[in-house]
Amino acid sequence: MLKSRRLLVALGKIDLGRPAALSSNFPVNYLSRIASQKHDSIVASPWKSIDIPDATLPEFVFENSSKWADKVAVECGLTGKGYTYDELRINSKRLACALLKAGLNRGDTVTLLLPNMPEYAVSYYGVMEAGLTLSAINPLYSADEIAHQLTDSGSKYIICHHDSLEKALTARNLLERNLHVICVNDFDGRTREIPSCVRPFSDLISPRDISDLEKQAHPVAANETTAFLPYSSGTTGLPKGVCLTHKNLVANVAQITHNDITINQPTTKDHQDSVIAVLPFFHIYGSTVSLSRTLREGGKVVTLPKFEPASFLNSLSTNKNIVLYAAPPMIIFLASHPSATEKHLKHLRITMTGGAPCSDSDLEKLFDKKKHVVIQGYGLTESAPVLTHSHQDYKDRASTGAIVSNTLAKVVDTETGKDLPAGETGELCFKGPQIMKCYHNRPEATAETIDKDGWLHTGDVGYINELKNCFIVDRKKELIKVKGFQVPPAELESILRQHPKLYDAGVTSLPCSRNGEVPVAFVVPNPGNQNIKEEEIKDYVASKVAPYKKVSKVVFVDAIPKNPSGKILRRVLKEMIQTELQQKQR
C-alpha cells in the first residue's frame, strides 16, 4: 500500500457489493436510507471491490516502475525520441522542482497546450508532483478560445509546443494579467529560436537536485486537491472546468486495472504491451486510459500528435503486442479503408473504443478484418472518465460493458427523475470514487449534474441488463460529437449571434459517416441583410473556433423555433433539416 507524507486525506475502501455497508464516501442520509430499504433500482458493479490507496496520481502510476526502470515508458511515434521509466520519473521530478523554484503556490494552475508527445507525460506528472493543478487545452483551439480557458482556470503558466507558440503569445496578450510561457522547441533534436520572454522546456528538466522534492511540494489532500482541470461542456452549455482530485484519478486507474477487466498483459523481461496513443492526452480518455493505465502496468506509450493515416498505420506496423484505444472514426478507418490492410493489423491484440457511440456493425467489420478482442467502454470527463468497461470474453458489442468496481448505477425517468426498475430505459446515473468534486467556479452547474445524494446524472439514455452491462440508446444531452470531440451548440450559437448581419441562430447536428456528426446552423438574418451568403457565415465561424467546430451547413429561416421559456427546440431543427434533405433527394 502506498503512503505519502503529503497526503492529508485517506481515500478508503468502498465495498459496493453490499449497499447497506457503504463507506463514508457517500452521504450519511443516503447510507441510512439504503440500509433500511430495498433498492431494486440500484445496480452495483459485478466486480469485486478494491482498495483505493492513499496516493497522489504519480505515486500510484509509478508504484511498480522500478521493476521496468530501463524499459521505454513513452516514445514519439514520429521521431523515435522517448524516455525510459527511470528517465520519465526523474524528468517529471525535475520539472516539479523547477516550477516550485519559480514561485508557484498551492492551488496554482499550469496549463498544457501540447499535442501527444513524450514531453506531455513529463509535464502531466511533473505538475502534479509539485502539488499543483494541471489543466490542458486542445492545440487546435484559436487564440480566443485559449485565452478564455486560461482566464477561467486562472493559469499562471502555459507549456506549449513550438507550433502553438504564436497562438499562446496572442492569447497571453488578450489576458489582463501576466502569464509565463514555456515552449518545447527541441522536440525532434533540432532547437528552434524562441523569444527571450519565453522559457525553453529543456531548462525545466535540466539536471538539478530532486532529493527534497517531497518536502518542497505543496501538501495534497487526496479527496479535495484538484489534480487535473480538463474542460467539458457537461450535459449542456459552454465548456466548464471539471475538478478531478487525486482520489478521482487514482480510483479510476485502479478500477480499469482491476484484475477482472484489465486488458494489458503483465510486463516482463521479454514482454511489453505497446499502446498507440493517438487519442489526445488533453482529453480525459487519453490521459487516464491511454497514458496512466498503460504506465501503471509497465507498457510502452507510443505517441502520435494527431490522427494521420500514414503515421498511424506505420506505428501499427512497427510495434508489437498492440493495445489500441480508439474513437469511432479510427474504428471506421481501420474497418473500411483499403489502405488499412491485414499487414498493418497483424500485431493488434486488443481494440477498445470509447469517447462517442460506436456502432456494433463497425466493430464487427474490424473484427472480421482482423480476429482480435474488440470491446467498448463508456464514461464522461466528470467521471475521470470510465464508468463501464467490457470484459474481454463478453461478446455483445452493442454493450459498453459492465459497471466498473466500487461504483453504483441506476436509471431514472427522463421526465420525472424518479428511479426506474433495473432493466428499464431512462437517464443513466452513477455514483463512485471517480466522480468529480465539482465544476470549477460553477456551483449551479454542479448542482444540475450531481444531485443532493451524490448521483452523477450523465444526460445519456440507456439501460442496464441482468449481467450489469450498460447499453446506450440515445443522448439526452445536446452536445454534438465530431470525431469524438465535444461541440456545444450554445457556443456556436453565441458566435453566430455576434455576426453583425445575423439576428438569431440555432445549431443542431447531422449524422456523418466520417466524423460521427457535424454542426448545422440555422440563422435568421437581420432586416436588410437577407442577401448574406452561406460561405460568409461559415468563414466567420471558422475564424473563431477550432477546425472540428466549423459549421458544415447553413440554413436560412424566418425564426428559430423555441419553447415558451426561450429554449431552442433542437428536435424541431433536426426535423427541418431532415425534411430539406428528403426534398432534395426527390
Integer Rg of the chain from CA: 24
- Would you say residue 80 has pLDDT above 90? yes
Instruction: State the Cα–Cα distance between residues 175 and 165, nearest whole angstrom.
Output: 16
3 state SS of 145:
helix
Residue 455: its pLDDT value, please? 98
Q: Tell me the pTM.
A: 0.83
Report residue 36's pLDDT band, with 50, 70 and 90 as the boundaries.
Answer: very low
pLDDT of residue 564: 59
DSSP letter for each residue of 73-134: EEEETTT--EEEHHHHHHHHHHHHHHHHHTTPPTT-EEEEE--SSHHHHHHHHHHHHTT-EE
Per-residue pLDDT band for 229 (boundaries 50, 70, 90) equals very high
Closest to 328 (Cα-Cα) out of 365, 380, 293, 370:
365
> Poorest-confidence range of 19-33, 148-162, 208-222, 357-371?
19-33
Residue 116 and residue 280 in contact, taking contact as beta carbons nearer than 8 Å:
yes
Q: Which residues have a Cβ under 8 Å from the Cβ of 412 and sit 6 or more positions away?
A: 418, 419, 420, 426, 427, 429, 457
pLDDT exceeds 80 at position 25: no
Lowest mean pLDDT among 274-288, 338-352, 385-399: 385-399
Instruction: Tell me the per-residue pLDDT of 180-219, one tens digit each, with 9 for 90 and over.
Output: 999 999 988 889 999 999 999 999 999 999 999 989 999 9
The pLDDT-based confidence of 442 (bands split at 50, 70, 90) is: very high
**pLDDT more than 70, % of the chain:** 92
Supply the pLDDT for residue 235: 58
CB atoms within 10 A of CB 212: 10
DSSP, collapsed to helix, strand or coil, labels residue 501 as: coil
Q: What is the pLDDT of residues 109-127, one digit of tens each?
A: 999 999 999 999 999 999 9
Give the span between the Cα atoms of 84 and 62, in whole angstroms: 12
Task: Tell me the pLDDT tens digit for each residue of 387-414.
Answer: 999 998 887 888 999 999 999 999 999 8
pLDDT of 6 = 34
- 279, three cell numbers: 487519442
Residue 154 scores a pLDDT above 70: yes
Asked whether residue 142 carries a pLDDT value surpassing 70, the answer given is yes
**pLDDT of 14 higher than 60:** no
pLDDT (0 to 100) of residue 565: 55
- As a whole number, the mean pLDDT across the chain is 89
% of residues, the chain, pLDDT over 90: 74
For the stretch 450-462, pLDDT in tens is 999 999 999 998 9
Domains detected in the chain: 480-585 (3.30.300.30)
Per-residue pLDDT band at 236 (split at 50, 70, 90): low
Strands (E) located in 201-354 = 226-229, 231-232, 240-245, 274-277, 300-303, 322-326, 348-353
**Residue 469 reports pLDDT greater than 70:** yes
**DSSP codes of every residue in 148-212:** HHHHHHT-SEEEEEGGGHHHHHHHHHHSSS--EEEEE--TTS-PPP--TTEEEHHHHTSS---TT
**Is there a contact between 492 and 541 (Cβ–Cβ < 8 Å)?**
yes
3-state secondary structure of 373: strand
The set of cell numbers assigned to 452 is 443532493
Count CB neighbours of 283 within 10 A: 23
What is the DSSP-derived secondary structure letter of residue 303? E
Query: Is the CB of residue 466 less than 8 Å from the CB of residue 447?
Result: no
Q: Is 12 left (phi over 0), alpha (psi -120 to 50) or beta?
A: left
pLDDT band at 573 (very low <50, low <70, confident <90, very high): very high
The band of 447, judged by pLDDT with boundaries at 50, 70 and 90, is very high
* Contact criterion met (CB below 8 Å) for 274 and 74: no
CA distance 123 to 132: 11
Q: Whole-angstrom Cα distance, residue 384 to residue 370?
A: 31
Per-residue confidence (pLDDT) for residue 22, from 0 to 100? 30
Output the nine-digit C-alpha cell for 133.
493543478
Q: Which of 285-299, 322-336, 451-465 has the lowest mean pLDDT?
A: 322-336
More confidently predicted of 338 and 449: 449
Grid coordinates of 8: 492529508
pLDDT tens string 50-63: 999 989 999 999 99
Question: Which residues, other chains included, contact 559 with Cβ-Cβ below 8 Å and sequence gap of 6+?
Answer: 504, 524
Query: How sure is the predictor about 163, in pLDDT bands with cuts at 50, 70 and 90?
Result: very high
Find the mean pLDDT for residues 361-384: 91
Name which residue leads in pLDDT, 19 or 278: 278
Q: Look at the alpha carbons of 130, 135, 140, 146 in this order and tell me if their dihedral is positive or negative.
A: negative
Range with the poorest average pLDDT among 226-230, 407-411, 561-565: 561-565
pLDDT at 237: 66
In the numeric block, the cell 453504483 is attached to 408
Grid cell 463508456 — which residue? Answer: 378
Confidence of residue 37 (pLDDT cuts 50, 70, 90): very low
* Mean pLDDT score, 498-521: 92
Report which of residues 336 and 399 the model is more confident about. 399
> Cell 470525431 maps to which residue?
483
| Per-residue model confidence as pLDDT tens digits over 303-320 | 999 999 999 999 999 999
Q: Please determine, for residue 132, whether its predicted confidence score (pLDDT) is greater than 60.
A: yes
Q: Which residue has the higher pLDDT, 14 or 244?
A: 244
C-alpha cell at 467: 449481467
